[in-house]
């Protein structure tokens, strides 16, 4: 237990000049370009493609892709800063960049062959959105109870099945799809494939009508005799479970970043509001009861931020980070729910309307305790390590 509790990276709160400059560039873009379009995108349940194109131009969609492939050539921690800054303004845009960087690019960076990197990294860095397709109707928390099948056919694989709740599906051109080559082998039959949107038999199906992050697309995928060349296997056949587990461990840090950004955005709106709203002849921010709530929220967010940053720094340093990632996701997602709820309270009746942005952030916060591992699954992960 002592190792887990004292494993803190020394560079936790220090940003390099490159990290700080990139953070500021993303912050300026989110404030000037994304903010004016948030409510229109939320109501239309549609991401503005022009904004997505601008994210590519900014280098946000290929943070860890090496410069030789046209990427930014930065590190995982920079991806975390990007997700946090976008999510302060719009968590839907934040999760777009999160899935692209912490799941899709990370998986190919670690498990992809040189041929796969050469074929897909230039696209993912310049104009192609990626998606990560693991979940199915019957496999959520039980991630490896997959029904999607992959059958060998000469040098190719034929994929059949359905995937559910796939983030970025509507915008994506490249998908990492998990299927089993041998149902009798359990998790040892799981294999990861890189599938292109225009492969014959591949269809993006129903788009979900969601509570929050509504501009972010969440769709089903239908695979009917989709032929995938052998060179598109990501990692080794039968080792897809390692690709999934280890990539999701990193992805959870990204979700933590989304949640702390979301919570900070809600708090920033609330701090501005309580200094303007007057009741009983004075601003409500001058009341001690309100001040204490602001202080408590700021403290919770800072604690969550340090947990997320610590997990990211440990990952970058090549140190174990499984427990820290689970703790960061658990705490930051629950913090986001508490903070946004309290922000609604401080806005009063206005907070319950769409006139002010905290209503949307409150809806957006709920997904944090669900996707990429529910809060209960994070608790199970933490407990297993502590009780080993």
Question: Which helix H or strand E contains 253, and what residues bound it?
Answer: helix 240-274
Cα–Cα distance between 289 and 271 in angstroms, integer?
14
Cα–Cα distance between 29 and 182 in angstroms, integer?
47
Cα–Cα distance between 197 and 89 in angstroms, integer?
30
Quickly count: other Cβ atoms within 10 Å of residue 337's Cβ.
18
Distance of CA 118 to the CA centre of its chain: 24
Assess contact for 4 and 323: CB atoms under 8 A: yes
Cα–Cα distance between 132 and 50 in angstroms, integer?
22
- Produce one character per residue of 139-158: b if its CB has 16 or more CB atoms within 10 Å, e if not: bbeebbebebbbeeeeeebb
Sign of the four-CA dihedral 75, 80, 81, 82 = positive
- 93: tokens are 């845009």
Q: What is the residue whose two structure tokens read 């591992």?
A: 373
Measured between its terminal Cα atoms, the distance across the chain in Å is 9
Active-site annotation holder among 85, 250, 334, 372: 372
Number of H helices, E strands in the chain: 13, 10
Specify whether 372 is catalytic: yes
Assess contact for 244 and 202: CB atoms under 8 A: no
Q: How many degrees, rounded to 5, is the angle at CA 84 between CA 244 and CA 320?
A: 45
Would you name the residues annotated as active-site residues? 372
């Amino acid at each position: 237990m002592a190792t887990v509790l004292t494993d803190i990276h020394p560079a936790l709160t220090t940003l390099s000049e490159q990290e700080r400059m990139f953070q500021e560039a993303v912050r300026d873009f989110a404030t000037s370009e994304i903010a004016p379009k948030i409510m229109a995108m939320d109501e239309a349940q549609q991401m503005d493609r022009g904004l997505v194109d601008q994210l590519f131009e900014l280098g946000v969609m290929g943070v860890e892709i090496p410069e030789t492939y046209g990427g930014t050539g930065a590190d995982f921690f920079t991806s975390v800063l990007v997700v946090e800054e976008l999510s302060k303004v719009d968590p839907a845009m934040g999760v777009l960049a999160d899935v692209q960087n912490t799941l899709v690019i990370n998986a190919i960076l670690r498990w992809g062959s040189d041929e796969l990197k050469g074929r897909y990294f230039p696209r993912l860095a310049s104009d192609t959105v990626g998606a990560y397709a693991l979940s199915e109707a019957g496999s959520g928390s039980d991630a490896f109870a997959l029904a999607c099948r992959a059958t060998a056919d000469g040098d190719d694989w034929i994929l059949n099945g359905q995937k559910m709740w796939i983030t970025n599906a509507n915008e994506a051109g490249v998908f990492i799809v998990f299927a089993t080559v041998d149902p009798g082998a359990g998790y040892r039959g799981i294999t990861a494939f890189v599938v292109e949107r225009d492969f014959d038999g591949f269809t993006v199906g129903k788009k979900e009508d969601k509570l929050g992050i509504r501009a972010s697309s969440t769709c089903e995928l239908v695979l009917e005799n989709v032929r995938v060349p052998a060179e598109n296997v990501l990692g080794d056949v039968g080792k897809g479970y390692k690709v999934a587990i280890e990539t999701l461990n990193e992805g959870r840090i990204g979700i933590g970043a989304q949640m702390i950004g979301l919570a900070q955005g809600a708090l920033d709106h609330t701090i501005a509001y309580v200094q303007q709203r007057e009741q009983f002849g004075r601003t409500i921010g001058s009341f001690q009861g309100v001040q204490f709530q602001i202080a408590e929220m700021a403290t919770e967010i800072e604690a969550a931020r340090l947990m997320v940053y610590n997990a990211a720094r440990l990952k970058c340093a090549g140190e174990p980070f499984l427990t820290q990632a689970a703790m960061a996701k658990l705490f930051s997602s629950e913090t986001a729910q508490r903070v946004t709820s309290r922000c609604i309270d401080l806005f009063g009746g206005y907070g319950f309307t769409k006139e002010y942005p905290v209503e949307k952030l409150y809806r957006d916060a709920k997904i944090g305790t669900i996707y990429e591992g529910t809060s209960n699954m994070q608790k199970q992960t933490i407990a297993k390590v502590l009780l080993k």
